[in-house]
Amino acid sequence: MSAGGLASGKPDGEWLRVHPATPFVRGWVALAAIGYFFGRDSFERMLQGQPLIDDRIAGRAPWLLGGGALLLVLAVLGFILSWYFTRYQVAEGYVRVNTGFLFKQQRQARLDRVQAIDIVQPLLARIFGLAELKFEVADAGESAVRLAFLRIDDARQLRATILARASGIRLDPEHPEAAAPEAPEQLVLQVPPSRLVGSLLLSEQSVFVVLGAAASVMLSALTENRAFFLYLIPAALGLIAAYWNSFSKGYNFTAAISPDGIRLRYGLLDTQAQTLPPGRVQALRVAQPPLWRLFGWYRMQVNAAGYGAGANNGEGGSRTTLLPVGKMDDVLNMLALVLPDPGTADPLRVFHQGVNGLDSDAGFVTTPRRARLLAPLGWRRNAFAATDTALLMRSGRWWRQLVVVPHQRTQSIALQQGPLARRFGLADLVLHTTAGPVVPRVIQADIREAQALFDAQAARARAARRRQTSEQWLAQVAPALTEPAPTPLVEPAETPDLTPQQPPRLASSPREPGWRGPKLDQRPPTAPQQEGQQRG
């Protein structure tokens, strides 16, 4: 059965190549390396006021130059060949890429399995108006499909096409060859550069920087040994690089919402535009380092199946950031995007409690008082709460954090108890999600509560999964619920006629003031329609 809303046009999309400038944009690093290798020596000699080329090798200069030229030609040839043999196609619910001229590789990925689509523009590509498209599926490793480089307009168009087909909308049958329109989007928030700089200065690493610097100064004053300052130089260089990296990654951070999901854009020199389709966020964390409390700032990170562990490498670290720094309003806005249906009557109070609160309130259940010896600071803060759609876990008195896991995203659940916890009648509940920076864990809950949560959570996850049937978010048909859920926000049972209807996840039901979930219309040019009754 052909997946994807492929009612359009040619049964087999044409095979395309990436942009001809690609070899040079990709190869500039190689060129720079060769240039550096041959240029460094001459440069150093120039600085020392010696002749540009060492007398001893002057006689061999032609050979060296020839060798360098050969290397250059080989490198360029390699890149050109790899460009020539890289071709891609989007058709029949699949994206296919063929690469390699010695070792050929043919790869295809199902469009409706898309977990995220990124458009990345490294600086040089940006100068040439090119962009790389990354198509992520759930394998937690490298990108499933990387197309580098396309013209930026082509990349956007391709993204729109892929998302349109993955979402399961049917394009206008009258004009099958018409390009899929880009979904309209609505700006949700922007992070001003001043706040970004402030957040970096007050971040965790700054605390360690100040402590480390103070310690070095103290040591050098005490021992009257200036060498400590020398040790600081490489550390300072590394720190500057780290700060610069965070700054350039978080610069001009913009979040927007469209029917195709959450759009994140950021970057100073290298820019990146991520699209996270609805329902692809596996877990989410709102965190606040101690110093950020002065300004009421928070950071949000997500686990998405395509992004992998992420936190270890710089690229993934920024890709899993949903909000580098924002105020409570921004946090609530982003939460509303990720969780359009909070599953509770008073989401503002619940999430405020979850982010900042103490003690059992708004449905939160804390660590019992008898465990205050075990967690003298944390016992009033460690808590969990379950809404109809998600489990909320908060912890950390100083390093506050709130983890949110939608019920239908729970993979498996484990209840754990060590000997010490047994003495206090406590247990930990661990929710397993895909790899990422967020590790959901209910810590030090009362054993009875934890057991009840364990059972209830398994049941809730089961029910939530039944409600969600399709990977194609605009085509999701909420099946008649077997058990009537108490939440007023759940969609009414499916009507039998297949008229175009609002997608359930984006439907605007009467919302509480302040919970500004996405309330977008559908793509205006071509109305999405229910395609068939069932899909695989």
Residues lying near other proteins in the complex (CB under 8 A) are found at 115, 138, 140, 282, 305, 408-419, 422, 427, 430, 432-435, 439, 447, 450-451, 454-455, 458, 461-462, 465, 468, 471
Q: With respect to other proteins, which residue has the nearer C-beta, 138 or 164? A: 138
Q: With respect to other proteins, which residue has the nearer C-beta, 413 or 442? A: 413
Q: With respect to other proteins, which residue has the nearer C-beta, 122 or 306? A: 306
CB of residue 382 vs other proteins: minimum separation in angstroms? 18
The values of phi and psi at residue 430, to 5°, are -110, 130
Q: What is the signed CA dihedral for 479, 481, 482, 486, rounded to 10 degrees?
A: 170
Q: With respect to other proteins, which residue has the nearer C-beta, 189 or 447? A: 447
Q: Are 286 and 298 in contact (CB under 8 A)?
A: yes
CB of residue 119 vs other proteins: minimum separation in angstroms? 23
The values of phi and psi at residue 10, to 5°, are -60, 135
CB of residue 461 vs other proteins: minimum separation in angstroms? 7
CB of residue 85 vs other proteins: minimum separation in angstroms? 32
CB of residue 412 vs other proteins: minimum separation in angstroms? 4
How far does CA 345 lie from the centroid of its chain?
A: 29
CB of residue 414 vs other proteins: minimum separation in angstroms? 4
Q: With respect to other proteins, which residue has the nearer C-beta, 279 or 378? A: 279
Q: With respect to other proteins, which residue has the nearer C-beta, 40 or 423? A: 423
Residue environment code for 251-282, b if the CB has 16+ CB neighbours within 10 A, otherwise e? bebebbbbbbbbbbbbbeebbbbbbbbbbbbb
Burial-class residue 198 by CB neighbours within 10 Å (0-12, 13-18, 19+).
middle
SS (H, E, C) 239-308: HHHHHHHHHHHHCCCEEEEECCEEEEEECCCCEEEEEECCCCEEEEEEEECHHHHHCCCEEEEEEECCCC
Burial-class residue 218 by CB neighbours within 10 Å (0-12, 13-18, 19+).
exposed
CB of residue 466 vs other proteins: minimum separation in angstroms? 8
Q: Are 135 and 144 in contact (CB under 8 A)?
A: yes
Q: With respect to other proteins, which residue has the nearer C-beta, 381 or 505? A: 505
CB of residue 486 vs other proteins: minimum separation in angstroms? 21
> Which residues contact residue 262 at a Cβ distance below 8 angstroms, ignoring those fewer than 6 apart?
255, 256, 274, 275, 276, 322, 337, 338
Burial-class residue 130 by CB neighbours within 10 Å (0-12, 13-18, 19+).
buried
Q: With respect to other proteins, which residue has the nearer C-beta, 432 or 516? A: 432
> Which residues contact residue 84 at a Cβ distance below 8 angstroms, ignoring those fewer than 6 apart?
17, 101
CB of residue 440 vs other proteins: minimum separation in angstroms? 9
Q: Are 443 and 416 in contact (CB under 8 A)?
A: no
DSSP helix/strand/coil, 131 = strand
Q: With respect to other proteins, which residue has the nearer C-beta, 246 or 301? A: 301
Q: With respect to other proteins, which residue has the nearer C-beta, 201 or 456? A: 456
H or E element at residue 442: strand 441-446
CB of residue 100 vs other proteins: minimum separation in angstroms? 28
Q: With respect to other proteins, which residue has the nearer C-beta, 90 or 431? A: 431
CB of residue 402 vs other proteins: minimum separation in angstroms? 19
Q: With respect to other proteins, which residue has the nearer C-beta, 418 or 532? A: 418
Which DSSP string corresponds to 16-44? EE--TTHHHHHHHHHHHHHHHHHHHHHHH
DSSP helix/strand/coil, 410 = coil
Q: Are 476 and 277 in contact (CB under 8 A)?
A: no
Q: With respect to other proteins, which residue has the nearer C-beta, 268 or 415? A: 415
Q: Are 275 and 159 in contact (CB under 8 A)?
A: yes
Which DSSP string corresponds to 170-232? PPPTTSTTSPPPPPP-EEEEE--HHHHHHHHHTSHHHHHHHHHHHHHHHHHHHHT-THHHHHH
CB of residue 115 vs other proteins: minimum separation in angstroms? 8
CB of residue 484 vs other proteins: minimum separation in angstroms? 19
What are residue 24's DSSP bridge partners? Answer: none
